[in-house]
């Protein structure tokens, strides 16, 4: 099933009111709104060149994205001039991402179709390693992380994310059965398990955060709406997107979002460093 994070990173900015009282669009695109929400959580900061808060990317970096999906993460990094290496098991996604990178400032682009066991990349290659919403899919998370660590240079920064258990537990009794079956989510990873996996792989954790209440509720309603993910047009979903846009545009919208993200989050994110 298509990763929601990767879907929203492929979108364009949402037309969300930034001041109370501004008009709200009559038809809200859920993915554009999701991208706007993600930016409020620290993703895709154009001014600071942070892919995520605390994860700066520059033209000096060699960035590896394992499980690159639709390429939203690496497009942002390519625009910073970094060398980009992408790896994914899906050949079509690799090709689509390669084409998407062609209009960026990336100083080089390297592509690998691989199951990542092992990665066809030399030891100590990357200064930045990204893998978002992948670990919950793999058979052996420890082996997968060991490969990510192997290909990073000493001092390399890592940006890793997995679904947060608060959201996964919410979906359990209502999601389609295949959501929790291969090749989709085959495990739910607690906060402590996630931190332990990263630490035991030999990385030093810098930060651990969570976000995505909007997507957690959207997914819950998506299962009830029974529509196609590529065209999620349904009153339940439309009304939720309109409501969340109005919340974000309210005087204390950012405060409300922060409080709800702390209760039910779609994703948890770790920034770590290789010693």
Q: How many domains does the chain have?
A: 1
Q: Which pLDDT score is estimated for 181?
A: 95
Distance of CA 159 to the CA centre of its chain: 10
Structure tokens at 35: 């991208």
Task: Give, for 51, the enclosing helix (H) or strand (E).
Answer: strand 50-52
Model-wide pTM > 0.95: no
Chain segment 159-192, per-residue pLDDT in tens: 999 999 999 999 999 999 999 999 999 999 999 9
Beta bridge partners of 269: 161, 209
**CB within 8 Å of 121: residues ≥ 6 apart:** 64, 85, 87, 112, 151
CB neighbours of residue 47 within 10 Å:
5
DSSP secondary structure letter of residue 228? -
For the chain, list residues with pLDDT below 70: 1-26
Nearest-angstrom CA–CA distance, 18 and 23: 10
CATH code of the domain containing 30: 3.40.50.150
Structural domain harbouring 153: 4-273
**CB within 8 Å of 189: residues ≥ 6 apart:** 135, 136, 141, 162, 163, 165, 197
Q: Which pLDDT score is estimated for 207?
A: 98
Structure tokens at 93: 């996604």
Assess contact for 185 and 136: CB atoms under 8 A.
yes
Nearest-angstrom CA–CA distance, 94 and 210: 28
Q: Which pLDDT score is estimated for 19?
A: 44
Structure tokens at 129: 């390693």
Distance of CA 90 to the CA centre of its chain: 17
Q: Which pLDDT score is estimated for 197?
A: 98
Exposed (0-12), middle (13-18) or buried (19+): which is 233, by Cβ within 10 Å?
exposed
Beta bridge partners of 152: 126
The three-class DSSP label of residue 167 is helix
């Amino acid at each position: 099933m298509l990763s929601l994070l990767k879907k929203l990173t492929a979108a364009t900015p949402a037309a969300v009111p930034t001041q109370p009282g501004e008009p709200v669009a009559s038809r809200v695109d859920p993915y554009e709104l999701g991208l706007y929400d993600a930016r409020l959580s620290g993703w895709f900061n154009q001014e600071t060149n942070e892919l995520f808060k605390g994860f700066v990317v520059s033209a000096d970096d060699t960035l590896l994205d394992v499980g690159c999906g639709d390429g939203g993460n690496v497009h942002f990094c390519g625009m910073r001039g970094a060398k980009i290496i992408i790896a994914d098991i899906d050949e079509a996604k690799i090709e689509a991402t390669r084409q998407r990178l062609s209009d960026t400032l990336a100083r080089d682009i390297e592509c690998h179709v691989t199951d990542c066991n092992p990665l066809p990349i030399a030891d100590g290659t990357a200064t930045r390693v990204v893998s978002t919403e992948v670990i919950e899919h793999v058979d052996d998370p420890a082996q997968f992380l060991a490969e990510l660590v192997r290909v990073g240079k000493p001092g390399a920064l890592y940006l890793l994310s997995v679904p947060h258990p608060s959201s996964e537990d919410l979906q359990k009794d209502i999601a389609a059965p295949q959501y929790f079956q291969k090749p989709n989510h085959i495990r739910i990873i607690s906060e402590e398990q996630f931190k332990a996996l990263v630490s035991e792989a030999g990385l030093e954790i810098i930060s651990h955060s969570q976000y995505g209440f909007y997507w957690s509720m959207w997914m819950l309603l998506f299962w009830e709406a029974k529509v196609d993910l590529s065209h999620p047009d349904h009153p339940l979903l439309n009304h939720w997107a309109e409501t969340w846009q109005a919340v974000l545009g309210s005087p204390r919208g950012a405060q409300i979002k922060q409080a709800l993200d702390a209760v039910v989050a779609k994703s948890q994110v770790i920034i770590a460093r290789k010693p």
